[in-house]
Structure 1
Amino acid sequence: MHGPTSPGWLLVTLCAATGAYCLLRMRSRVEEQRRAAGGEALMGFGMAVMAVPPAVFTPPSWAWPAYAAVFGAAGLRALWSARADAHHLHHLVGTAAMVYMAVTMALSPPHAHPHGTASGVPLLTGTLLLYFTGYVLLSGVRLLPLTGSAATTGAGGAAVGWSDRPELARACRLSMGIGMLAMLLTM
């Protein structure tokens, strides 16, 4: 992505940590949560790699089409999974945004800064920015504390493991939404 080095490294750290936690969530006893966590781990690590500042590493020309193919396949999987769970529609939008950014990076000359052109923000970028802004705001509201201890205990009062904590999964999704906003702003 095109942007300053320090915020780029912060974004890399945020996305990699989120991807690592999503890998931990793949150990959940709930099958649907494991599947969702796998897609979110791919998204987190993919965003981390994409956010590495170009001053440090400039990917080879074949990397961006490969990115588009990987996230295109993940998008098809999200589309298929959306039949059973509407949350996968968000995964579909996220993978589509990753494909869009990969294609944009593949078509832009090295070290070019597409923002600040006379034409303004492209329609698709603006639409994705609006979507992820709304998603981040909604995810933030969902993190507000619940009354009681239902968030930390499961059925029968048993403690919930790290891979099954719903508030951590929401924080993970919020972090990736913020990361996606930051990446789209640099487009």
Structure 2
Amino acid sequence: MHGSASPGWLLVALCTATGAYCLLRMRSSVEEQRRAAGGEALMGFGMAAMAVPAAVFTPPQWAWPAYAAVFGTAALRALWTARTSPHHLHHLVGAVAMVYMAVVMAATPGHHGGSGVPLLTGVLLLYFTGYVLLSGARLIPMTAGGGTVGWGDRPEVARACRLSMGIAMVAMLLTL
């Protein structure tokens, strides 16, 4: 996204770390964890790529339609899987937000944001702000269940990753 270099690099680092952790979560023995982690890894790495400061690297014009195609496909997959898991509705909203940002960036090469549809940007900001607040409240420590849980299956770490991606989405939408 177009914005200041320091926050951009912080978003790149945050989203890359989140994406990497989500890749590790794909090794979980819990099928739902693996399924959700794949979409979250794609989102984390996609957000990292979009957050690289424009002063450092300006993607070629074909990159934005490619982002839109990748996240459009992810949105269709999330829509399909949302039939059985309501969490995938959030993945759907996230993928649609990524498509929206890619379309806006494709339409305004070299500009520094401000060209999105204000109502849609506002709705997405409202959704992700609410998501961040709710996710933050859910980070309250949980009591330990009976057995030992592998670090890749710890729900509070997965929630922290989702929270960080929500915060990154709010930051990216603010620069739009």
Equivalent residues in 2 for 1:96-111 (5 A)?
96-110=96-110
Distance 1:11 1:80, change over 3 A: same
The alpha-carbon deviation at position 32 of structure 1 amounts to 1.3
Shift of 1:159: 1.5
Query: Which residue number corresponds to residue 63 of structure 2?
Result: 63
Q: Which runs of 4+ in 1 moved over 2 A?
A: none
Instruction: Tell me the distance in 2 between the aligned counterparts of 1:183 and 1:32.
Output: 28
Q: Output aligned runs, 1:61-140, within 5 Å.
A: 61-110=61-110, 112-115=111-114, 122-140=118-136
Q: Which of 142, 152, 157 is the equivalent residue of 1:163?
A: 152
CA offset digits 1:34-93 (Å, max 9, x no partner) = 010000000000000000001110000100000000000000000000000000000000
Distance 1:45 1:61 in 2: 19
Segment drifting more, 176-185 vs 157-166: 157-166
TM-score normalised by the chain length of structure 2: 0.97
Conservation of the 8 A alpha-carbon contact between 2:61 and 2:109: no
In the TM superposition, residue 133 of structure 1 has moved relative to its aligned partner by 0.3
Contact kept? 2:141, 2:156, Cα under 8 Å = no
Partners of 2:19 and 2:43 within 8 A in 1 = yes
Query: What SS does structure 1 have at the residue aligned with 2:166?
Result: helix
For residues 16 and 8 of structure 2, what CA distance do their matches in structure 1 show?
Answer: 12
1:181 to 167, 170, 173: 170
Q: Helix, strand or coil: the match of 1:104?
A: helix
The corresponding residue for 2:7 is 7
Pairwise CA distance, 1:145? 1.7
Q: Which moved more, 1:158-167 or 1:171-180?
A: 158-167
Aligned counterparts of 1:47 and 1:26: Cα–Cα separation in 2: 19
Q: Distance in 2 between matches of 1:132 and 1:88?
A: 15
Consecutive unaligned residues of structure 1, counting only runs of 5 or more, are 151-156
Percent of aligned pairs with the same amino acid: 78
RMSD: 1.3
- Work out the CA distance in 2 between the residues paired with 1:65 and 1:125: 19
Deviation for aligned residue 1:158: 2.8
CA distance in 2, matches of 1:50, 1:127: 20
TM-score normalised by length of structure 1 = 0.91
Q: What CA distance in whole angstroms lies between the structure 2 residues aligned with 1:45 and 1:162?
A: 21
Matched pairs, number: 176
Q: Which has the larger radius of gyration?
A: 1
Deviation of 1:16 (Å)? 0.2
